[in-house]
Amino acid sequence: MLNQLNLEHILFLDIETVPEHEAFDDLTPAKQKLFADKTQYQRKEEYTAKEFYDRAGIWAEFGKIVCISVGYFNFKGRERAFRTTSFFGEEEDLLKRFKILIEDYFSLPHHLMCGHNAKEFDFPYIARRMLIHGIALPEKLQLFGKKPWEIPHLDTLELWKFGDYKHYTSLKLLTELFNIPSPKDDIDGSQVRDVYYKEKDIDRIVTYCEKDVIAVAQLILKLRQEELLEDHELISI
């Protein structure tokens, strides 16, 4: 049961991704062909592979992670705090630092990782990019041979589906439904590429990513019928 989980045992996270290169022409001819083949179904006859490349960040094979933000609860008596921090910079380095965090602080059997649509996007994306960089997966991302109830992942999208697996609900819609302060008050996922490559404003992306982490934590509180976090309980480190 969700209400029986210890909130301090959950690592909330979100990632932001962009195409691995700024422009389609920066890809090798072989990679251009592979991208065209990979996206043919989505593109149909409406877009060329080059025109479609601005969306390449959604695939781990053609994108990269520019920010991983995490958050966790801390309780001292009746005082509650939610701390966030972010890993950004060169992808290989941020993945290694993220792995250290997991292995040092969230590696025990009772620890969980939580995100929105994270089982289908964030968790597999992180795992694939780690392997591409030759980084051994931490235990929390090693899923082979595990039964569904043994996988230490929590997904607010899945919780909201209630078994209706054809149903997709965005985090933005859920925050509106539950009167949670919106994390989408500056940029949205479709703008991250331009903010990264054109504006070169990684701080703006980090802020956006941390807001998503807070929104997921707030949603978990609402699903548990608990009070939302207030501004004074939010600590960015």
Domain spans in the chain, listed from the N-terminal domain onward: 2-20+62-236
Give me the sign of the Cα torsion angle 150, 156, 160, 161.
Answer: negative
- Tally the C-alpha atoms within 13 A of residue 186's C-alpha that lie toward its C-beta: 14
Element (H, E) at 49: helix 49-52
Strand pairing of 79-88 and 10-19? Answer: unpaired
Strand, coil or helix: 180: coil
pLDDT at 43: 86
Residues pairing with 64 in the sheet: 18
Compute CA 4 distance to the chain's CA centroid, rounded to the nearest angstrom: 24
Strand pairing of 112-115 and 153-155? Answer: parallel
**Residue (of 185, 151, 167, 171) closest to 222 by Cα position:** 171
Q: What pTM was computed for the model?
A: 0.94
Strand, coil or helix: 12: strand
Q: Which two tokens stand for residue 65?
A: 């992670």
Report the C-alpha dihedral over residues 129, 107, 213, 70, rounded to 10 degrees.
-70
The rounded mean pLDDT for the chain is 93
Q: What are phi and psi of 190, to 5 degrees?
A: -70, -15
Cβ–Cβ < 8 Å for 159, 165: no
pLDDT at 185: 61
Distance CA 121, CA 100 (A): 21
CA distance readout (Å), 159 to 3, 31, 47, 138, 233: 13, 37, 35, 25, 25
Ranges in the chain, pLDDT < 70 = 183-185
pLDDT at 78: 86
pLDDT in tens, 75-89: 998 899 999 999 999
Q: Which two tokens stand for residue 136?
A: 């051994």
Distance CA 6, CA 182 (A): 25
Report the CATH superfamily, name and number, of domain 2-20+62-236.
Ribonuclease H-like superfamily/Ribonuclease H (3.30.420.10)
